[in-house]
Structure 1
Amino acid sequence: MNLRLQRLTLWLKNSEADLALIQDPSNLLYLTGFECEPHERLLALFILPGQSPFIVCPRLEENRLRLSGWSDTIITYEDAEDPWQKIAACLKERGMETFTKAAVEVEQLSYMRAEALRSLSPNSRLISVNEELGRLRSVKDDREIETMKKAAHLADEGVKAGIAALKEGCTELDVVAHIEYEMKRKGVRAMSFSTMVLFGEKTGDPHGTPGTRRLKKGDLVLFDLGVVWEGYCSDITRTVAFHSIEEETRQIYETVLKAQTAALNACRPGAPIGEIDRVARTIIKEAGYGPYFPHRLGHGLGIEAHESPSIHEENRELFTAGLAFTVEPGVYIPGKGGIRIEDDVVITAEGHERLTRFPKELQIVN
């Protein structure tokens, strides 16, 4: 049993849980090393304190699961079979015809699967494993950090490719296509999320949708993108100007950059997580743009693009070495435009390390 499974098993013992059912693909990857999207089929890890774990796997994924290095029990089923009957038989063989407490991913487990689990032991109750898995996943080890550095470097390359594709009259989707084509050429299988490229007034929407808006001189261009590399995500935002920039917009850019720099300087072990949000938000408020910064400062990053911790001003948890997250202040003026600057960061024993390195000084692209 690997160290991650051992840590979760210890938590189960301390929680007096009889078993855990893990079926979210990101948690399965973290705990087993097996990366798979089973769609509607059940792919689930059962962890039983005091016994070896087992995985219930669709027959068509069995070979890939074995190649991933999983050496414990595998229970396979065909599409026409009910996997819960096989699960019941396996638990009975292990002396667990009934159980009293099961830990599940309450944020991901469907009602149908929760009922199927309860049917195996009608008097059982379910508890949440989400908080513990979030805590375990939030602290990255050296190998995870090295993988995330590569993912961050590729995100830098994505912004570079996007800027190179800018030309008067091109559409947002033209630039998205160029970025993703270049990422595929570099061996990237998937993006962390839908690549965002926005022009002009559309940059005033923090989560705008790229479309057929054509690039004009004087437009802002906002890139928000990331890649998945060996199961780990990156996430970067850069905003540039095309040919020219208005003076007020330049001042907003410098305000956002100042806020992000101050927040990064406050990233260190032992500091309250909420403090860096307050540092950035105060600078933006004092510049008169407080109402135009409508989101938290950042989010945890790892196997998923958004995970624990949440970087908002009310978070009283403390930074610890190994936490990986984004720092991304922004100012968005509806109908006019917006600016966001985002980097990926990991807390170190001495302070922090910035993983994304693409330059942040204002660029006017001609």
Structure 2
Amino acid sequence: MNNVKINELRQWMAQHQLELAYISDPGHIAYFSGYESDPHERVLALFIPLEQDPFLFTPALEVEDAQNSSWAYDVRGYLDSENPWEIIGKELRARYGQPGNVGIEKNALTVDRFDAISDILTGTDSYTDLTSIIQRLQLIKTVEEKDKLIEAGKWADVAFEIGFKTVKEGVTEQAIIAEIEYQLKKQGVSQMSFDTLVLAGANAASPHGTPGSTKVSPNELVLFDLGVIWNGYCSDATRTVAYQKPTEFQEKIYNITLEAQLAAQEAVRPGVTAGELDQIARNVINSYGYGEYFNHRLGHG
């Protein structure tokens, strides 16, 4: 449970005269409550009032798990045979009366569910989008969040080492992915940040390509793009390695990329924007005539 961020959200609510925040995105529910779940078609919701205690609304089959999480307040469950919106309406009225101004997540709330919440909050005067404030809250990490991100990053390093050792002539992209994820699961990692990418040879020129049956061959580059979720926080990193001896052209491109990276790193200091650093790296690559191939942004994750 993230009391620091709940309190910061409440400060913003007070400034914007909101009486209630309805959090519907499962990732954001986990961010504030500490309870992580994929509700599928069922309703999962977090209600944070300006002053009273918040409560978590989950399917009945998840109530015990939610109570055993770091969430310190009430958990209200519902059965599949019940109408969740009727129960939510009763709970909101009993706990908070009739809120006049309510915050919602426009980028996460479906039209169908917005209609459902509107039908039970008949006295609500207005709805305010919470998307931007939640994004701002997530930009500045607490010490605990930083520690979780560092651990997630360490697990990504473990994944890379497994992958690098698996690269051999004739091994397919999918086989390398399978070995990475199998070994991680044996060590306690339950979920990757996204579908792991391993792309060999010409496929590595497509950063978001689809891994398949392509086999690793000598003197080729192999691209890895992966991340690990650890305690709810994601790592996301990319590495490209050469199998056996790289060609002269591959070494040339590597050295240009390294020069661009180091130039940007040298310029890092308080007050410098991400856009300025991107331009520094981009200028290096442009100077060698490869600017049109730099179709990503500086940095990753």
Deviation at 1:153, TM superposition (A): 1.3
Map of 1:255 onto structure 2:
256
**CA offsets per residue over residues 109-132 of structure 1, 9 Å max, x none?**
111111111112346332211111
Comparing both structures, which one devotes a greater share of its residues to strand? 1
Map of 1:301 onto structure 2:
none
- Name the amino acid aligned to 1:128: D
Q: Structure 2 length as normaliser, TM-score?
A: 0.94
Residue 144 of structure 2 is aligned to residue 134 of structure 1: no
Fraction of identical pairs, as percent: 39
- State the alpha-carbon separation in 2 of the partners of residues 119 and 268 from structure 1: 51
- Name the amino acid aligned to 1:276: L
CA contact under 8 A between 2:55 and 2:75: conserved in structure 1? yes
- Aligned pairs for 1:26-65 (under 5 A) are 26-65=27-66
- Aligned pair count reads 299
Deviation at 1:102, TM superposition (A): 1.6
CA contact under 8 A between 2:35 and 2:66: conserved in structure 1? yes
Map of 2:101 onto structure 1:
101
- State the alpha-carbon separation in 2 of the partners of residues 29 and 175 from structure 1: 31
**CA offsets per residue over residues 158-193 of structure 1, 9 Å max, x none?**
111111111111100011011111211221111111
Residue 1 of structure 2 is aligned to residue 7 of structure 1: no
Residue 22 of structure 2 is aligned to residue 24 of structure 1: no
Map of 2:290 onto structure 1:
289
Residue 119 of structure 2 is aligned to residue 119 of structure 1: yes
**CA offsets per residue over residues 303-323 of structure 1, 9 Å max, x none?**
xxxxxxxxxxxxxxxxxxxxx
Map of 2:72 onto structure 1:
71
Deviation at 1:217, TM superposition (A): 1.2
- State the alpha-carbon separation in 1 of the partners of residues 115 and 282 from structure 2: 44
- State the alpha-carbon separation in 2 of the partners of residues 145 and 3 from structure 1: 14
CA contact under 8 A between 1:106 and 1:129: conserved in structure 2? yes
- Could you tell which deviates more after superposition, 206-215 or 240-249? 240-249
CA contact under 8 A between 1:44 and 1:57: conserved in structure 2? yes
SS at match of 1:197: strand
Map of 1:219 onto structure 2:
220
Map of 2:229 onto structure 1:
228
- State the alpha-carbon separation in 1 of the partners of residues 21 and 191 from structure 2: 30
Deviation at 1:251, TM superposition (A): 1.0
CA contact under 8 A between 2:89 and 2:121: conserved in structure 1? no
- Name the amino acid aligned to 2:100: T
Deviation at 1:6, TM superposition (A): 1.2
Following TM superposition, where does structure 1 have runs of at least 4 consecutive aligned residues deviating by more than 6 angstroms? none
Deviation at 1:95, TM superposition (A): 5.0
Deviation at 1:275, TM superposition (A): 0.9
- Could you tell which deviates more after superposition, 261-270 or 281-290? 261-270
- State the alpha-carbon separation in 2 of the partners of residues 109 and 265 from structure 1: 42
SS at match of 1:38: coil
CA contact under 8 A between 1:118 and 1:125: conserved in structure 2? no
- State the alpha-carbon separation in 2 of the partners of residues 101 and 195 from structure 1: 42
- Aligned pairs for 1:265-284 (under 5 A) are 265-284=266-285
- State the alpha-carbon separation in 2 of the partners of residues 95 and 222 from structure 1: 53
Of structures 1 and 2, the one with the larger relative CO (CA 8 A, separation 6+) is 1
SS at match of 1:250: helix
Map of 1:147 onto structure 2:
148
Map of 2:209 onto structure 1:
208
SS at match of 1:153: helix
Map of 1:358 onto structure 2:
none
SS at match of 2:176: helix
SS at match of 1:94: helix
- Could you tell which deviates more after superposition, 113-122 or 44-53? 113-122
CA contact under 8 A between 1:75 and 1:86: conserved in structure 2? no
